[in-house]
Structure 1
Amino acid sequence: MGWHWLTPVGDLLLVWPTALLTAGLLARRGAQSASAIRHWLLWLGGACLLVAASKVAFYGWGTGVRAWNLTCFSGHAVLALGFWPMLLAILVPPRRRRLRIAMLCLGLCLGVLAGLSRVMLGVHSLSEVLAGIALGGGVAWLALRALRATWLPLDRGLVASAVLLALAVWGGSRLAPPLPTEHWFRQVATALSGDEEPYSRRRWRHAEQMRGRH
């Protein structure tokens, strides 16, 4: 399976522009929808901050759960689970409950596959992806509760434009070099901790082995 094709589903450059576009469209549906979408963006943003904090803490101080090989939340899993289930669900009117649930399940499967792609590509451990799925799933649950009475009717022209935009961003994320977010996290971590080098998974494991010998 081409796991590298699934990774962009949870990419920052695809999810956040699409999320902001969705928020703008929902805001036009009325004050209630605008309030709900603001809360959803805050929850998604808060989850992203937790991802960043977990990575900075690991790179700077070697935090994590060694028994689980857990160093941080998987950002791709958080973004994929925190966005796609909600988006696909609200494309269906609430009265069509079975279809809405089916779209929700499709979004959940898409998010889980995006998270698993990080394991298969050797970027994250399974525990880190599961932690990201739990955090992103929590965002999706809160968002769907807030937007349970809202739906996003789209005309054909807008759908075509949105699909083309998503394909363009997704394709660009495959061809263009990724944002150096991990490098930024390492720089912030070393600046805050005062350590000369950021922690790596190998250094983290070595520190555990040394403690075990003593």
Structure 2
Amino acid sequence: MPRPMVICSAEFLWGVGLGSAVKALSSMDCDGIFIPTDGAFFPSRLEREDIYTISRAKNRKIIVGTPERDVNISSQNPYVSEASKRAVMEVASFSKMIGSDILVVDPGSTYIEKYAAFVEIRRLIERIKLEGLKICLKIGQLVNSEDDLRFFGDIDVAAELHGPWRSFRKVAVLMFQEEIDDRTLKELKNRSFTGYLVVRPRTFKYDYSGLKRFLPKLMYKIYSTWG
């Protein structure tokens, strides 16, 4: 059985340009790079050199995540919802420009009628698919059961380790914050998980040296579990 691919988040290199972060991560012992697009990490204006550096990282898988903070495409406030959809489509354009492998879409949250929100999310997903992008829908707060997935057709799922991922038959992307225990890795192997393990930091700071020490240990655990 092939092992999962280990994807390292650019969040570990807080404070440097996105192109510089991708260049540094490309030299590390991981299979790919996760690019968040929240304002704290994603500049409002990318330099041409940054785009060039990211698009040239062909020896690594590139996963882009839509904003997780201050954006809510399922908001009951139409102004927030429409602004959020525009932000997501801008990220989709960026994802297409750099030739990313996957775009992880955060569906946001709603506290009134989630099935009405599902209709709008489905429409947005169809718009993104027209860009030729592979999409993973992030589960958890809004989409939290296999039954919910029937509203979105054949779509891959992304999840947080502390979320309800065990309730889903197949998860393509699993995100966690630095620690993942041997028991969970064995459980993933028993579930025939061969997707993407996205490692993200607990705190946001520039930690190149710490990451350099941490990643080989994680990769060793992966290789040991999957043989």
TM-score by length of 1: 0.28
Higher RCO by CA contacts (8 Å cutoff, separation 6 or greater)? 1
Q: Which has the larger radius of gyration?
A: 1
Higher share in helix: 1
Higher share in strand: 2
TM-score by length of 2: 0.26
